[in-house]
Structure 1
Amino acid sequence: METPGIIGLLITVLLLSGNLGAVSQERPKDSLTNQTDRIAKGEKRRVLEEVQVSAGTFEASDKAKGASLTPIDAVTVAGSNNDLSQALRALPGAQQIGEQEGLFVRGGTGEEAKQFMDGILVKHPNFPSVPGIPQYARIDPFLFKGILFSTGGYSALYGQAMSSALILESIDIPEATEASFSLFPANTGIGFQRRADDGNSGYGINLAYSNQRLYNSVVPQAPEYFAGPSYLQGDAHFRIKTGDRGILKFYTNWNGSEVGLTQPDINNPDLRSAYSVRGRNTYNNLSMVRYFGNNWKMDASGGYSFLRTAIRSDDAGHSDLDEHFAQLRAVFTKGFARNQAIRFGAEHFFTRETGMWEDRPVGLTDQLTAAFAEGDIYLTPNMAAKIGGRAEHSSALRRWAFAPRASLGYRLGAADQLNAAYGIFYQTPASVYLYDHPELGFSQATHYVVNFTHNAGNRFFRAEAYYKRYRGLLRTDPVLATSGTGDAKGFEFFFRDKRTFTNLDYWVTYTYIDTKRQFLDYPELLKPTFAAPHTGTLAVKKFFPALSTNVNVSYAFASGRPYYDIAPSSGSEASIIRQAGTTKPYSVVNLHIAYLTSFFRRSKLKNFSGIGVGVSNLLGTKQVFGYNYSADGQHRQAITLPAPRYYYIGVFMNWGVDRRDDFMDNQLL
């Protein structure tokens, strides 16, 4: 299974709802963000620029060190399946993890990478987990005008993410009134958005439903599904300008999923073990941006989410959990001459969990408060610095943490720049470990990053080296404690070229990492099972104007990952490693093709249609991500893909705006 409940919108939004890289935005004049008079007068501009990995502009900021993506970049990588986390695996620093959702960045687990939408944490960006089968993103990447992937050393404005921050900025007023519809064998999607005649407000709603039962009956799967997989999702939004110097935005997402399956019982090969999970989730985000006189700006936002999960497992019993999460946040910015600025603010996180976990009652309440400040300082015409810090207090841990952050950018020339960053990043342990152990402390990672970038003539190159030191990692053996340690070091390369070949855009990445950890049940410092020493990707996008067809191909490679069979400690005996090894290398080719046309050529209403087809793991290469072991160590099961390949074919339609020119323009840049 390779698709979430919203896959019906994958091609719809990609091609129909269009190339939001050409969205028209009318934003207030603001010296803090270098807005010009012509923008204030309402002229159109592109708000989603090309991908910028590292320093696309001269500033020591998240955009200067991270990887800035447009939605088109994110979802046109073959194999991304409309999932930002999967798309970002085509960039350096991210591991090719095929058995679990989330981002695994530079030796960090998936829980150490967080997503923020307009400053508000997206607590659960994916549907509830299923062992060995990644679940999919709840939020559509086309909601955003900015997607910033920072793999280390990010701003003091964000916290509770030891490895990585995915910073998302939602779009403002919709470009036009339009509707869209898509139909794939197992997925259906429909959407509508309206822009007010005066251009000062807009709203929209989308619905999607997916049920994989029919598909799985045609394409055999390794697990035997007795429920679903099925996904139902909807979202709505409105945006309204508040005068000529501000905007108010609201977004809500609600969804449900059900997955039930059986697989061979690892402890008894003659039996099958059942696992099922049902999830209900809602996410709400209200944000306001307001500009004041004398170069002041305020960003205020609030969010609330609710998650209910019901898990039934033959191995781990029953779990029924309700989680309430709320966040309030305010950031104030004061601008000065030469693009210098100071920012300061505070935020509060509220988390409450109640219910049953593995057949026992549990409960947790945590109030986490944070204050932060940072300044942009231009030291010379060619050198800029960002210096700040962040203080946090957790009521559940009853502890304080202070995290200094600093970064420096030095411009070597019109196209070349050096960047360096340092920072300390804290994170509270997962809730399941805090139910009975409030004595646990923060986990900590210290980042050191240096890179070089070259950006000229539609060609981009970045080389980056880093070192991370971990302290206070969670250990479960021999006793539960935040006493684990580790480190990660390596280097990365990224090259993107949109100039050499006509109508062709490609990029190449390579990542090397050397990392070890002593955490969870690891009896010593070990290379973690989710980290491959060598990874690389090649993404190619070719547009054929005469055929109105776009072909996307991606290839991903990763060297083998380590695996272990660890016997837990018992009595006075320490845990031991019974078996260890390395998996076969990971290698996968993905192919997506989109044909652009119009099914209603005689209609007076502008429309745009097409056909999308795709194959993930085109060559059917067997992927082994690791092994599960029986309690006595005598049996093991390979963790593999549910099926060798995933296929899709479908149609998509859009009314209100003909997006073909937008799409072609994007490909011809």
Structure 2
Amino acid sequence: MKPIVLLLSIWSLCLSATAQISISGQVSSQQGLAIAGASVSIKGATAGATTDSSGHFHFTTKLTGKQVLRASSIGYKKQEQDILIADSGITVDIILPANHQTLGEVVISAGAFEASDKAKGASLTPMDAMTVAGNGGDIANSLRSLPGAQQVGEREGLFVRGGTSEEAKQFVDGTLLKNPNYSSVPGVLQPARINPFLFKGVLFSTGGYSAQYGQAMSSALILETMDLPDESSASLHLFPTSSGLGFQKLANNKQSSYGLNVNYGNQAAYNSIVKQRPDYFLGPEYGNAEANYRVKTSKTGMLKIYVNASLSNIGLRNPDVDSMALKSAFKLNSSNVYTNISYREMLGKDWKLQAGAAYSYNQDKIGLQLQDGAHQPVYLAGAPYAWKNRDMNTTTNFAQGRVVLSRLFSRNQALHIGAEHFYAEDRYHSGDSLYPLTDQLTAGFVEGDIYLANNLMARVGVRGEHSTLLKKSTVAPRASLAYRFGDGGQLNLAYGIFYQKPENQFLYQQRDLRFSKATHYLVNYTKKAGNRLLRLEAYYKRYAELPKTIPFVNSNGSGDAKGIELFWRDKRSIKNLDYWISYTYLDTKRDYLNYPYALQPYYATPHTASVAVKRYFENINLNVNLVYNFATGRPYYDIRSPQGNEHTQVFDHGTTRAYHNINLSGAYLFNLFKGKWKHPGFGGIGFGVNNILGTRQIFNYQYSYNGMNKIPVIPTAARSFYLGVFMSFGIDRTEDFINDNL
């Protein structure tokens, strides 16, 4: 009951009324027709309302003086109007010109959550995603509060609809982001490498996504970077575990910009105050530097270059599961360089060119050591101790080139033709052994958005790929259909086949493997109205040719996943409050890895739910975010091969306790040098607590070699905290923390 009582207490706090002065009026079209469901608000504040069936609106506020009133509605251009608020109420009439590019259009949206500057109504925005409490500055982590994603707390990445984190890939401006997070550490959630505020658009596809993207069997997180900034600016943040500074310089002619950001964090001091389960003897230490350059090459052309260099150093000890008197030490030194170049241009009136290239270098140096109580190395012969003292070195060079040519037609119709090439060179060293892998993967695709009838659109495409390493080719058809009802609701259907190369850990042992395969079937209903969003989706996925390790590495695995999902977001029913509720039901089994038969994977659970609540208190400039996550228990197994038998058996199994987690975050915002500088900035005090109630979470169990002992896999600490200061000079971004449509 504690999570419910706390949630209701904070909810009731959010309901306090603050407004005094009345603002009313009517919103209509240029033809004089009333516009129902239009959003009207004061710029830079949450005070606002939605128009009724006659186009009228009414709300109250404590703000006075000169303000800007803005109004927006789907199918119309956003309007801003200067107003003067005195001590008495005012009446304002607003006329919205039609936006013929968006009026009544059908959007293909099966299996997709869009968060972009183009999103309407109660859709998500990048700021929405990043203010989800407990996200840790990782967009992918923040999306775990959406349906389809599992609550996996011991590993970074997205686990979507029965798929592993390796099956969910991230793409930046069309190209693959090879290493989105710092390199994995057993049992420790690793942060993202890239600044989340680099992006203006986020499309989280949980299935059935476009033929323009491949090598992601379960999910695609498609990220679109910002173009030119509005103004030059500088930023600074100081937190106990991380500090950084940066700037963005906009040219005087506003045709180009460049920027630089540097960040460094060392959690040693924090870990000495907040007790941690692992014994950290190094760091964790993280550092990165990023630079960007953007230039308008013409009225419709844009070139963007981004470079990121990062490093991490981590050393920790945990009790050894095979001998509790000893310790298992893990040490990681990692370095990474990532570069992304994108270019777009209109070729005449109806043709669009998009091109991109990406390069990534990553090196991980890992040391494993068995230690005694004095932290001295211990060397024991035989299994399982023989492999507990070793060094491993993995290096990866990855490059991708991509080009897409689009022919644009009326009614949002388009034909996309594209090709891309991936180069991957991986080297794994362990002792005196070297395992090299080199692959050239070439892909081509064609896809069309087709207007079939009034309110009926289809997307049909096909993607082909060939791998020189596997010496195999694939052809993957994909299709989506969308029908828009007269009340604004939309029905979506999708089908697609998705292929993915086996992970390197399997290819190092066996080259003669096949592409893993997943076939998706989806049906979806979505409705947006009055700044509310309802989304219902059902799906079925069939897996084939998954990797198995018993009796030898092969591609004979299989599985399936099916489920239903619900998402409800409401920014209107409760004054000044924004909340969403998501629920996921998942039924999945896999016969893969060392499983003796089809089992529910250890990372999957049948029921997952989240409630996210957001409130901006304009009178005190305080932004508060709360999220409650729930999941039923996850399965765990002791799977071993009996001595002298090449097959495996399940010797022990069970289900962990249910997962309950409440995270709270917020920021107190203040203006910097307002009225004194031409371009004032803003600052804030950020704070957060993850797992407020200190609920004991168990993610899995680690078994000893003989199955006689098991250790729970639990979070590194019962709670985590952060408190610090952030500032932005030269541009006031306070409004970024406020929902424009609230």
- Kindly tell me: are residues 586 and 517 of structure 1, through their superposed partners in 2, closer, same or farther at Cα, counting changes over 3 Å? same
Could you say which structure has the larger radius of gyration? 2
Provide the secondary structure at the position in 2 that maps to 1:73: helix
**In structure 2, C-alpha distance between the alignment counterparts of 1:370 and 1:276, rounded to whole Å:** 38
Q: 2:703–2:711: 8 Å Cα contact kept in structure 1? A: yes
1:510: which partner in 2? 583
> Does residue 76 of the first structure (1) align with residue 149 of the second (2)?
no
Contact 1:521 1:568 in 2 (8 A): no
Alignment of 1:538 with 2:585, yes or no, is no
Matches within 5 A, 1:276-291: 276-291=331-346
1:641 match: secondary structure: coil
> What is the SS of the residue equivalent to 2:272?
helix
Residue 121 (structure 1) aligned to one of 173, 176, 184? 176
Match of 2:310 in 1: 255
**Bigger Cα displacement from structure 2, 627-636 vs 55-64:** 55-64
> What whole-Å deviation, never above 9, does each CA across 1:173-225 have from its counterpart, x for those lacking one?
11110001111112101110011111111111111100000000001100001
Tell me the distance in 2 between the aligned counterparts of 1:307 and 1:103. 21
Comparing 109-118 with 186-195, greater Cα deviation is found at 186-195
Could you tell me which amino acid in structure 1 is paired with residue 342 of structure 2?
S
Gaps of 5+ in 1: 1-18, 20-33, 40-54
Q: Residues 359, 555 of structure 1: CA spacing in aligned structure 2 closer, same or farther, 3 A cutoff?
A: farther
C-alpha separation in 2, matches of 1:35 and 1:157: 28
One-letter identity of the residue aligned with 1:387: V
Of 500-509 and 529-538, more deviation after overlay is shown by: 500-509
The 5 A counterparts of 1:343-422 are: 343-357=416-430, 360-422=433-495
- The separation in 2 between residues aligned to 1:64 and 1:521, in whole angstroms, is 31
SS in 1 for 2:145: coil
Moved more, 568-577 or 292-301: 568-577
The alpha carbon displacement at 1:36 in A equals 11
Distance of 2:461 and 2:712 partners within structure 1: 46
Say whether the 8 Å CA contact 2:127–2:737 is kept in structure 1: no
Instruction: Please say if residues 551 and 646 of structure 2, whose CA atoms lie closer than 8 Å, have aligned partners that are also in contact.
Output: no
1:304 equivalent in structure 2? 359
Shift of residue 337 of structure 1? 2.5
Matched, 1:575 2:648: yes
Is this contact kept in 2: 1:417–1:453, CA < 8 A? yes
- TM-score scaled by length of structure 1: 0.90
Q: Say if 1:38 and 1:454 are closer, same or farther in 2 by CA, change over 3 A.
A: closer
- Residue aligning to 2:53: none
Flag the 1:358–1:155 CA change in 2: closer, same or farther, 3 A. Answer: farther
| Contact in 2 for aligned 1:267/1:630 (Cα 8 Å) | yes
Moved more, 538-547 or 511-520: 538-547
2: CA distance, partners of 1:493 / 1:557: 14
Could you say if the C-alpha distance between residues 284 and 395 of structure 1 is closer, same or farther in structure 2, counting changes exceeding 3 Å?
same
The reply on whether 1:145 has 2:170 as its aligned counterpart is no
5 Å matches for 1:110-509? 110-314=165-369, 315=388, 317-357=390-430, 360-509=433-582
- Of 55, 61, 72, the match for 2:108: 61
Q: Contact 1:477–1:568 (CA<8 Å) still a contact in 2?
A: no
| Worse-superposed segment, 625-634 or 599-608 | 599-608
- For residues 103 and 113 of structure 2, the distance between their equivalents in structure 1, rounded to whole angstroms, comes to 10
Q: Do structure 1's residue 628 and structure 2's residue 692 form an aligned pair?
A: no
Match of residue 683 from structure 2 = 609
| Displacement of 1:436 | 3.6
- More displaced stretch, 155-164 vs 186-195: 186-195
Aligned CA distance change for structure 1 residues 195 and 628 (closer, same or farther; 3 Å): same
- 1:659 Cα deviation from its structure 2 partner: 2.3
Q: Is the 8 A contact 2:108 2:457 kept in 1?
A: no
- Structure 1 residue 360: Cα displacement: 2.3
Contact kept? 1:344, 1:373, Cα under 8 Å: yes
2:734 alignment partner, one of 653, 660, 663: 660
Distance in 1 between the 2:449 and 2:663 partners?
Answer: 42
8 A contact 1:319–1:359 mirrored in 2: no
* CA positional deviation for 1:59: 3.7
The number of residue pairs the alignment matches comes to 622
Instruction: Give the distance between the partners of 1:555 and 1:297, measured in 2 at CA.
Output: 43
Contact 1:189-1:208 at 8 Å conserved across structures: yes
Offset from partner CA, 1:258-283 (integer Å, 9 cap, x none):
11000000000001110011110011
Could you tell me the TM-score, scaled by structure 2's length?
Answer: 0.81
User: How many angstroms does 1:382 deviate by?
Assistant: 1.4
Cα offset, 1:573, TM superposition: 4.6
Amino acid at match of 1:527: Q
8 Å Cα contact 1:504-1:667 kept in structure 2: no
Deviates more, 1:489-498 or 1:338-347: 338-347
SS in 2 for 1:72: helix
Q: CA RMSD in A?
A: 2.1
CA distance, structure 2, for counterparts of residue 359 and residue 570 of structure 1: 29
Note the C-alpha offset of 1:57.
8.0
3-state secondary structure, aligned to 1:86: helix
Structure 2: gaps of 5 or more residues:
1-43, 45-73, 80-101, 116-123, 370-387
2:225 maps to a residue whose letter is S
Alignment correspondent of 2:155? 100
1:581-592 equivalences under 5 Å are: 581-592=654-665
Per-residue deviation, residues 46-100 of structure 1 (Å, max 9, x unmatched): xxxxxxxxx9984453588434342201110111111011100010000001000
The equivalent of 1:12 in structure 2 is none
How far has the Cα of 1:359 moved from its partner?
A: 5.7
1:483–1:569 Cα change, 3 Å: farther
Alignment partner for residue 648 of structure 1, among 704, 708, 722?
A: 722
Please say if 1:639 is aligned against 2:710.
Answer: no
1:216-271: per-residue Cα shift (whole Å, max 9, x none)?
00011000011110000111111101111211110111100011000000000001
Q: Residues 316 and 131 from structure 1, CA distance in 2 versus in 1: closer, same or farther, beyond 3 angstroms?
A: farther
Q: Matches of 2:389 and 2:591 in 1, distance apart?
A: 25
Q: Return the alpha-carbon distance in structure 2 between the equivalents of residues 571 and 413 of structure 1.
A: 67
In 2: Cα distance, 1:336 partner to 1:444 partner: 34
For 1:308 and 1:618, how far apart are their aligned partners in 2? 36
Shift of the 204–62 alpha-carbon distance from structure 1 to 2, 3 Å rule, reads farther
Q: Which residue of 1 aligns with 2:29?
A: none
Q: 2:128 & 2:169 partners in 1: Cα distance?
A: 20
- Please, which moves more after superposition, 443-452 or 62-71? 62-71
CA distance in 2, matches of 1:499, 1:91: 20
Contact 1:316–1:358 (CA under 8 A) maintained in structure 2: no
Task: Indicate how the Cα distance of structure 1 residues 603 and 358 shifts in structure 2: closer, same or farther if over 3 A, else same.
Answer: farther
Report the counterpart of residue 3 of structure 1 in structure 2: none
1:183–1:278 Cα change, 3 Å: same
1:91 corresponds in structure 2 to: 146
Distance 1:37 1:642 in 2: 49
Distance in 1 of aligned mates of 2:76 and 2:581 = 35
Q: CA deviation at 1:108?
A: 0.1
Give the direction of change, closer, same or farther, for the CA distance of 1:485–1:505 in structure 2 (3 Å limit).
same
Contact residue 501 and residue 514 of structure 2 kept, 8 A = yes
CA shift, 1:502, in A, is 2.0
In 2 relative to 1, CA 368–220 (structure 1 residues): closer, same or farther, beyond 3 Å?
same
User: 1:628–1:227: structure 2 CA closer, same or farther, 3 Å change rule?
Assistant: same
Q: Note the C-alpha offset of 1:355.
A: 4.0
Aligned equivalent of 1:26 = none
CA separation of 1:502/1:349 partners in 2, compared to 1, >3 Å: closer, same or farther? same
Q: CA deviation at 1:37?
A: 11
